[in-house]
Structure 1
């Protein structure tokens, strides 16, 4: 049994816009939780084609006060037409519920919402369960290094000295690029385990082969190539030349995402104009073939300004359009800020976005009349479209970030 009554057209329009339902929606709405008081309020305003799911029951029940059937979570197993379903959560343990819904195939970017935010019962999302951030600072001296931020004590620590770029979790520790050294492996206490010395390549991003954790794809920006290294031997075993030849930083490749099927790159100039300072508006995210050694299979998005940091979550590709101060999910803008953004981490409900001191202000002054100059980390809450900010005045050039 489902209901299809709209009581308040004005309120429905607000909710439909917030959830991208469209004017005549064929989406089904699942109201998830055992908080019948707030669910009842929600139903009294609105809704079309809804079911109520209670995670604390094992069998379907009829609820007199709601005048509808209440279903257990088991109905979500092999749920029909799941892609046309939106879930609104009425639970205090919001993030645990989000993680459960993700585990059974719901998309947090477009299918999961916080009902208490939508009702106006609370103005801020629940606190994230993240306890620590690990991030890198590029540059010499005090501003460069690997840093941590402890949420419980609101405390920063510098744990490694150096001029760092990309950083990723690896085994029970981390892999990181120090521009003065190369690729370095650390344990979970930031003690050096291993390193591959790579000089004069202007290293930027890297990724670990999902088919073999001993293989790393490393962006050697100075020559527009992707070096493929074996971590066990420290040797370069192959390389990708997406432009067909080695060149002197004509494309300015800066980040890479490796999946089982493809290699994705962010680059400042698709047409190879970086060395002529004619790269504005020529930035791109491209997809290469793994099997055909660097052949461009698709240009996902062109016309960007200084794109960085490509990550994925399920089938979504997320990246920064840095100088335009925005983050994309596939071909659509996910969120916007007012500073230079580079460095992303997504944990299923919060998107951590690093912001560096504004660079090349003269290049974007014609677009924006207010540019943030402080560095820090935004915590963008997907379901409520809100964010908070942690300033990092001690380092002005954040490159990469991990939330733990």
Structure 2
């Protein structure tokens, strides 16, 4: 079993080490920087390189692993080499325990997130609203993406034209252009489906636990449809007075989320003028009980998608600009492609990236416009990311869901 990497802060050292003297593992520049932050003078340095043994660094002796194991295993070890994963295994094989007996020098904390991203293991459900295809690796539907460290594989588990994905009572729900609302078991079998009205194009789906109702954002209706747990249509919430006019749709709504008794809906144009090349994208709030519009908490978006409530904050993708917005709708991440599809594991964001079909609109806005499809794993604290590229024939991603 792989030893977990015990990254740390300098404040952790005295707490874990207690009264034990210190041993540093790995001579060199990182070792010197670590020594300068330590109050201890009784320090030994261990190194795996034989040509270092018997020498000194900063006045401290450099010893072999054999001598360490024979005379110094009572010391608290701070790993001072970029080979921290291998040294962690080496110390574990000596009977030492991560955190309790050794940690990685805080000087190496920049490598913490790199190690986390490169060794992450997870499963994602990826939805695509592209046209269905018989190709098992292309076309619309749901795909299971398995990530195991530096390798990742995907397979189609449901063919269709699918958009948002949510979970309610251990069942998955998505919206399909042809079949409407789909309820799936955890093996992705369709348990039931409810067709939507013709020419509605359901996209986003959210669930209100208090009323036990599903809310479906419909792009072609300029409205949100409300269904009960039996998937029976109850009512319609129009986005504006323009809803239902022959010239529509006007707002190009896509996704929605529910917080308390508020329904938040993302759309391409708040004023309903996207067909006139006015992309005043926004997130609009509605009262769930009355259906009345409350206000516009987020404006200045360009083709937004995937409005969600994450870590106590409304979070949305400013898709054409490639932005991730949170914390009073400020930009916390920027990406080089059309962003659509969003998930969060409590620490890392997973952001879908689709082939940018509107890249000419970005000229002058972005200086790096990617046309690749895939998933970005993004750490909002350090701003470090990793990209999982998917084949170009899977050109569109609409939703992400962590399994």
TM-score of the two chains, using structure 2 as the length reference: 0.69
Kept in 2, the 8 Å contact 1:339–1:355? The answer is yes
Instruction: Give the secondary structure class of the aligned counterpart of 1:363.
Output: helix
Shift of 1:43: 11
- 1:354 has 2:352 as partner: yes
Equivalents in 2 of 1:235, 1:133: separation in Å? Answer: 30
In the alignment, which of 336, 342, 345 is matched to residue 343 of structure 2?
345
In the alignment, which of 389, 392, 402 is matched to residue 391 of structure 1?
389
Equivalents in 1 of 2:357, 2:35: separation in Å? Answer: 49
In the alignment, which of 160, 168, 193 is matched to residue 166 of structure 2?
168
Equivalents in 1 of 2:315, 2:107: separation in Å? Answer: 25
Question: Which residue does 2:153 correspond to in 1?
Answer: 155
Question: Which residue does 1:225 correspond to in 2?
Answer: 223
Question: Which residue does 1:203 correspond to in 2?
Answer: 202
Shift of 1:30: 11
Instruction: Give the secondary structure class of the aligned counterpart of 2:360.
Output: helix
Question: Which residue does 1:240 correspond to in 2?
Answer: 237
Shift of 1:158: 0.6
Instruction: Give the secondary structure class of the aligned counterpart of 2:220.
Output: helix
Question: Which residue does 1:292 correspond to in 2?
Answer: 290
Per-residue CA deviations over 1:86-113 (Å, capped at 9, x if unaligned) read: xxxxxx9xxxxxxxxxxxxxxxxxxxxx
Instruction: Answer with 1 or 2: which has the greater Rg.
Output: 2
Equivalents in 2 of 1:262, 1:115: separation in Å? Answer: 47
- 1:131 has 2:128 as partner: no
Equivalents in 2 of 1:327, 1:240: separation in Å? Answer: 27
Shift of 1:261: 2.5
Equivalents in 2 of 1:284, 1:45: separation in Å? Answer: 49
Shift of 1:314: 3.6
Kept in 1, the 8 Å contact 2:127–2:398? The answer is yes
Question: Which residue does 1:382 correspond to in 2?
Answer: 380
Query: Structure 2 vs 1, CA of residues 43 and 345 (structure 1 numbering), >3 Å: closer, same or farther?
Result: farther
Query: Structure 2 vs 1, CA of residues 209 and 126 (structure 1 numbering), >3 Å: closer, same or farther?
Result: same
Instruction: Give the secondary structure class of the aligned counterpart of 1:166.
Output: strand
Residues paired across the two proteins, number: 304
In the alignment, which of 313, 317, 321 is matched to residue 316 of structure 1?
313
Equivalents in 2 of 1:249, 1:207: separation in Å? Answer: 21
Equivalents in 1 of 2:126, 2:317: separation in Å? Answer: 16
Shift of 1:313: 1.9
Shift of 1:268: 0.6
In the alignment, which of 175, 178, 183 is matched to residue 177 of structure 1?
175
Question: Which residue does 2:256 correspond to in 1?
Answer: 256
Per-residue CA deviations over 1:52-79 (Å, capped at 9, x if unaligned) read: xxxxxxxxxxxxxxxxxxxxxxxxxxxx
Shift of 1:45: 5.8
Aligned pairs (5 A) from 1:45-64: none
Query: Structure 2 vs 1, CA of residues 218 and 384 (structure 1 numbering), >3 Å: closer, same or farther?
Result: same
Equivalents in 1 of 2:114, 2:373: separation in Å? Answer: 23
Equivalents in 1 of 2:300, 2:108: separation in Å? Answer: 35
Kept in 1, the 8 Å contact 2:113–2:384? The answer is no
Equivalents in 2 of 1:345, 1:289: separation in Å? Answer: 25
Query: Structure 2 vs 1, CA of residues 172 and 269 (structure 1 numbering), >3 Å: closer, same or farther?
Result: same
Instruction: Give the secondary structure class of the aligned counterpart of 1:275.
Output: helix
Kept in 1, the 8 Å contact 2:199–2:221? The answer is no
Query: Structure 2 vs 1, CA of residues 192 and 32 (structure 1 numbering), >3 Å: closer, same or farther?
Result: farther
Kept in 2, the 8 Å contact 1:117–1:384? The answer is no
- What are structure 1's unaligned runs of at least 5 residues? 1-28, 47-91, 93-113
Question: Which residue does 1:54 correspond to in 2?
Answer: none
Kept in 1, the 8 Å contact 2:10–2:106? The answer is no
TM-score of the two chains, using structure 1 as the length reference: 0.69
Equivalents in 1 of 2:194, 2:301: separation in Å? Answer: 32
Query: Structure 2 vs 1, CA of residues 299 and 186 (structure 1 numbering), >3 Å: closer, same or farther?
Result: same
Aligned CA RMSD, in angstroms, stands at 2.8
Kept in 2, the 8 Å contact 1:133–1:148? The answer is yes
Query: Structure 2 vs 1, CA of residues 292 and 173 (structure 1 numbering), >3 Å: closer, same or farther?
Result: closer
